[in-house]
Amino acid sequence: MISNVNEIDTPALIVDERIARNNIASLQKHCNSAGLKLRPHIKTHKSVRMAKLQLEAGAAGINCQKIGEAEIMANAGCDDILITFNILGEAKLSRLKALHEKISKLTVVADNSTVIAGLGDVFVKTDHPLNIMIECDTGAGRCGVQSPDEAVGLAESISTLSGLKFAGLMTYPAAGDNASAAQFMKQSSAQLNARGIQGFEVSTGGTPDMWQSQAQGVFTEYRAGTYIYNDRSLLARGTCNVNDCAGVVLATVVSMPTPERAVIDAGSKALTSDLLGLDGHGHVIEYPDSQIVALSEEHGTLKLNPDSALRIGDRIRIIPNHVCVVSNLFDSAWLKELSGAYVPLPIDARGCVW
């Protein structure tokens, strides 16, 4: 335990528990009022402690992106897990089967018959079927079936396999386009209902549009990840403000070759090189007019105003462009607890990308 932030070596990821708790409570309240179950995506924090805070606040379960993350969370007692990634290959399917036998409710997604066939082969003799949602591309241009007809066809194919159960539809919509997602899902749901398939989940998500999320007569669940910490990309969208950013990178100025250039000890291995359409590599809280113009692996270069008060040895707090990636760069963060003390926050699922 550390009582003074100046005792923390840099670069370091600092998480403010009070802000994180407020963010958790705010979105949970919104989803409750919108008639949506909230299923937080743990890819942002990759932390058992943070996941448990979300579940204690009322989350329906958790969302993981890879089996490795899900295994960590299951070992910590999380009992309702959705993995939103196509799973195939003998090694992964073997691990998935072991995970399925360990927890009460495991759900995966699929957007093609190859993935479904592989799951069917492995789970054919299971005592309780594996839940499968059909992933739908509603505009983001990533994974997902391209039409309601395809979604219905895959859903019907699942019903022919004894070890699998159709559990619903899932999408990650394009930012700012919930309308297209709702239309796609309504058409798909209507076709499924006409075939006697009812009572399934329809899951959407995305932190950028979370405050606009509504059931819209079709959605039952909302998935969001970044909201627990927030980051500069969300600041730029107006989704949050600086005081809502729970995760910051603490860095030290190690050089000032010119009055207008400073170098810090946080480079791409602490801040990530993701730009997400922004200029610069993070928002410096103490010097908002400065800009992090370049990153190498261990160096960050700041462009300053000529009259800047920044000096060698000063510490600065940086809101990263993309906090989800930053979590995966540290073995452990520092959690500023409600008491004001700083304690290690293990990033339990760091590196679990398989």
Please report the pLDDT score of residue 195 as a whole number: 97
Q: 21-45: per-residue pLDDT in tens?
A: 999 999 999 999 999 999 999 999 9
Query: Where does the pLDDT of residue 54 fall: very low under 50, low under 70, confident under 90, or very high at 90 and above?
Result: very high
Question: pLDDT, tens digit, for every residue of 79-133?
Answer: 999 999 999 999 999 999 999 999 999 999 999 999 999 999 999 988 899 999 9
**pLDDT in the model for residue 200:** 98
- The DSSP bridge partners found for residue 301 are 263, 294
Strands 291-295 and 300-303 come out as antiparallel
- Mean pLDDT for 5-34 is 99
Q: How many residues does the chain have?
A: 354
Instruction: Write out the E strands in the chain.
Output: 12-16, 37-40, 62-64, 80-83, 105-110, 130-136, 164-171, 201-205, 221-224, 247-258, 261-264, 283-284, 291-295, 300-303, 315-319, 332-336, 342-346
Q: Is the peptide bond before 11 cis (omega within 30 degrees of 0)?
A: yes
User: At 136, which amino acid appears?
Assistant: C
- Average pLDDT of the residues in 330-337: 99
pLDDT at 163: 96
User: Under a CB-based contact definition with an 8 Å cutoff, are residues 326 and 272 in contact?
Assistant: yes
Largest CA distance in the chain: 71
Tokens 């009322």 belong to residue? 58
Amino acid (1-letter code) at residue 296: S
Percent of the chain with pLDDT over 70: 100
- Cα gap 85→234, rounded to integer Å: 24
Cα–Cα distance measured from residue 133 to residue 82, given in angstroms and rounded to the nearest whole number: 9
pLDDT at position 317 is: 99
Provide mean pLDDT across the span 188-199: 98
- Cα angle for residues 340, 344, 349 (degrees, 5° grid): 130
Per-residue pLDDT, 80: 99
pLDDT at 125 (0 to 100)? 87
Q: Token digits for 202?
A: 């329809």
Is residue 135's pLDDT more than 90?
yes
Q: pTM of this prediction?
A: 0.97
Q: pLDDT digits over 280-326, tens only?
A: 999 999 999 999 999 999 999 999 999 999 999 999 999 999 999 99
In the chain, the domains with their CATH numbers are 18-228 (3.20.20.10), 233-321 (2.40.37.20)
Q: Tokens 């019907």 sit at which residue?
A: 156
216 sits in the region (left: phi over 0; alpha: psi -120 to 50; else beta) called left
Query: What pLDDT shows up at residue 231?
Result: 99
